[in-house]
A and B are shown apart, each in its own frame.
Chain A
Amino acid sequence: MINSLLFVRLFWRDLRANKKRMTLTLIAVLWGTLSIVLLLAFAEGLKAQFAENSKGLGEGILIIWGGQTTIPYEGLGKGRRIRFYPEDLQEIQRQIPEVEKVGADYFNWGTSISYGKKTISGRTNGLFPSFETMRAHYPMPGGRFINDLDMSKRRRVAFLGDRMATDLFGVEDPIGKVITIDNMPFTVIGVQVKKQQMGSYSGPDNNKVSIPATTHSAIWGNLRYNNLVIKPRDVNQAEFVKSRIYEVVGKRQKFDPKDKAALSIWDVIEGQKMMDKIMLGLQVFFGVMGFFSLSIAGVGVANIMYAAIKERTVEIGVKMALGAKKRQIMGQFILEAVLICGIGGLFGILVAQGVCGFFERVDLNNEALTWLGKPTISMTIGLVTVTILAFIGLVAGFFPARRAASVNPVESLRYE
């Protein structure tokens, strides 16, 4: 191998001899690298943001509504509506040890919610304490969520969605203040932290008022839950838990456990798995697009290498006369192509880092950007990019190098 100092000088000479062409080639590699890194970084950011947003609804949960039977069972005809009662929830918890947490929703639409002179017509939900973690109803500092004591004592306490809190209180701190719901006083115990919520049923969590399920039931007299929320201990047991719910509820409410339409289950776990797959597909797609974009830069690199070989024909002949073997001639040109890709790629990654840094610093108040997430350059993206750059450099260098090594020394020594 040529010694490194000589190699760098040779590269420098080529750089100066073909200033414009080399600059354009480096820009092409930079641009290709920038596009591949940014595409992957945005996909990564989007993936992280989607994951974050999907947490807004809750992680690893099953949301279950009652459906209508389609199979006659034990003398009962089909078309019977299934609704959930507190006993269903108790039986699920008692009979299915694979279930970690349970909870249920009561809804009351169009309640009149007031603070001071301000009145909003909104939604009041009766919830279980388990919703704090299951459905991501996390309180902001200084507040808390509904607890077991609130439930057992049917306390008149309210937990506000962050938007509801702002709409009612503006900049004032709502904690400890008394609001009225349909003219009944409730003390505000907490405000939900701001969250992005990708999926929702009966509206987003940020503009509702949550009160203990027991209080809700006592005031409005609901006998039936609107829906159940179940969290299996292990996401991999979700399918088993689902089938057990059909059995347990089916036995109590007398429907065939095989009658899928009797219950309607929103499997958030499955949705999240699906989303992971879609995101992976998106990343692969972006990666492939980036690869093609960088390949065009590779063509530029090959082009400049062919030009360099033409200009260095005599030099190649001299080296061959001095005893350079084919691989020694080839090695130099391949290394040069890889170096061009390396330098262009390095600048590309630096510019991409700058772009990502910009997004990192700006506050994403824009709704669209909030969903897009912040582009992130991960270690994997770095490795993928470097691998693609090295591959393209090798390919872009290989063919010109092969031509260089096939130069006839007699002809090239005569070549001027």
Chain B
Amino acid sequence: MIKMNGIRKLYATGKVAVEALKGLDLELKGGEFVSIVGPSGSGKSTLMNIVGCLDTPSEGEFFLDGERVDQFNGNQLAEVRNKKIGFVFQNFNLLPYATAYENVELPMIFAGAPQKERKETVTRLLTRVGLGDRMDHKPTELSGGEMQRVAIARALANSPKLILADEPTGNLDSHSGAEIMGIFEELWKSGTTILMITHDPNIAKRTKRTIMIKDGVIVTSLNGNGNGSSSHE
């Protein structure tokens, strides 16, 4: 699903160039449920942005679903984000003036899906995350857990191969967080590949593989049972 070789990302901040990723290699197979952990400034978010095709690497190769995407232009990347990736953000990022239904519908509108198909899919997805009766509610009328469920439904709208979740439980209480993790596990079981950034070791434990990043490189990759490889600089 994901294959990255020697990914480097340089940010020019004034006269100083900061290297956020320093030749990172990563491989994710289809159907995996992986968490990325690491301290602040380790390069987690940069990695997520590149994996999510929101940003491109300064160097290295990046294959997503068999396609080399590191050289893609803006519109090609938009196409990849729309069709192959579903985003779930820590602060939900729902459009405040749109209903739950309209928020979920949005990626399908960008994909040019016909209205009948949109209606069918949005209704099915919102029902699946337990919000079949709250489709007309605006984000302000929903709880944090409900908003995140809308965001998950939105991430699934175009049946993406990969779900990218950035601290999806970070703004939720433990009960709602557990519910959301339950939904992710269900999704994984149904075959969706999930890559999740988290600070919470308990959340990381519920994924099937945990990758630790430090100073822009992967330092350890552990399976859910604690086995795995580690590489140090």
Q: Which residues of A approach B to under 8 Å, CB–CB? A: 1-3, 5-6, 9-10, 13, 314-315, 317-326, 328, 409-410, 413
Contacts and interface: CB of A to CB of B under 8 A. Distances in A.
Contact of A3 (B107, B109, B154): B109
Contacts of A317: 93
B158 interface: yes
Given A9-B97, A323-B110, A413-B89, 15 more contacts: A1-B109, A3-B109, A318-B93, A318-B95, A319-B106, A320-B54, A321-B52, A322-B154, A323-B81, A323-B158, A324-B82, A325-B75, A326-B78, A328-B110, A413-B93
22 contacts: A3-B102, A5-B102, A317-B93, A318-B89, A319-B106, A320-B54, A321-B54, A321-B87, A321-B93, A322-B87, A322-B154, A323-B82, A323-B110, A324-B110, A325-B74, A325-B75, A326-B74, A326-B75, A328-B110, A409-B54, A410-B54, A413-B89
B106 A322 contact: yes
Given A323-B78, A328-B110, A410 B158 contact: no
Contact of B81 (A5, A9, A321): A321
B97 A323 contact: no
Given A323-B82, A326-B75, A410 B107 contact: no
Nearest to A314: B93
B83 A323 contact: yes
Given A1-B109, A322-B110, A6 B98 contact: yes
Contacts, number: 64
B90 to A, nearest CB: 10
A325 B110 CA distance: 8
Nearest to A14: B97
Interface string B64-103: 0000000000110011011100010100010101100010
Contacts of A328: 110
A325 B93 contact: no
B10 interface: no
A10 B97 contact: yes
B55 interface: yes
Interface in B172-191: none
Interface in B152-176: 154, 158
B79 A323 contact: yes
A9 B136 CA distance: 14
A322 B95 CA distance: 12
Contacts of B78: 320, 323-326
A413 to B, nearest CB: 7
Contact of A323 (B49, B98, B107): B107
Nearest to B118: A3
A124 to B, nearest CB: 82
A150 B177 CA distance: 110
Nearest to B158: A323
Given A323-B110, A323-B111, A315 B95 contact: yes
Contacts of A325: 74-75, 78-79, 110
A324 B95 CA distance: 14
Contacts of A326: 74-75, 78
Nearest to B87: A321
Contact of A319 (B54, B55, B105, B110): B110
A322 B107 contact: yes
A120 B95 CA distance: 86
Q: Which of B54, B74, B111 has the most CB of A within 10 A?
A: B54
A2 B109 contact: yes
A409 to B, nearest CB: 5
B98 to A, nearest CB: 6
A3 B108 CA distance: 11
A39 B203 CA distance: 70
Contacts of B74: 325-326
A323 B102 CA distance: 15
A410 B50 CA distance: 10
B49 A410 contact: yes
B149 to A, nearest CB: 17
Contacts of A321: 52, 54, 81, 87, 93
A322 B156 CA distance: 11
Contacts of A9: 97-98
B75 to A, nearest CB: 5
A19 to B, nearest CB: 16
Which of A1, A6, A319, A323: most chain B CB closer than 10 A? Answer: A323
A105 B134 CA distance: 92
B49 to A, nearest CB: 5
Contacts of B75: 325-326
Interface centre among A1, A10, A326, A410 (most CB of B within 10 A): A410
Contacts of A318: 89, 93, 95
Contacts of A413: 54, 89, 93
Nearest to B92: A318
Given A321-B52, A322-B82, A326-B75, A13 B97 contact: yes
A10 B106 CA distance: 13
A409 B82 CA distance: 14
A326 B97 CA distance: 22
A319 B78 CA distance: 10
A323 B107 CA distance: 6
A5 B115 CA distance: 13
A410 B55 contact: yes
A1 to B, nearest CB: 7
A325 B82 CA distance: 9
A320 B55 CA distance: 11
B104 to A, nearest CB: 10
Contacts of A10: 97
A245 B213 CA distance: 104
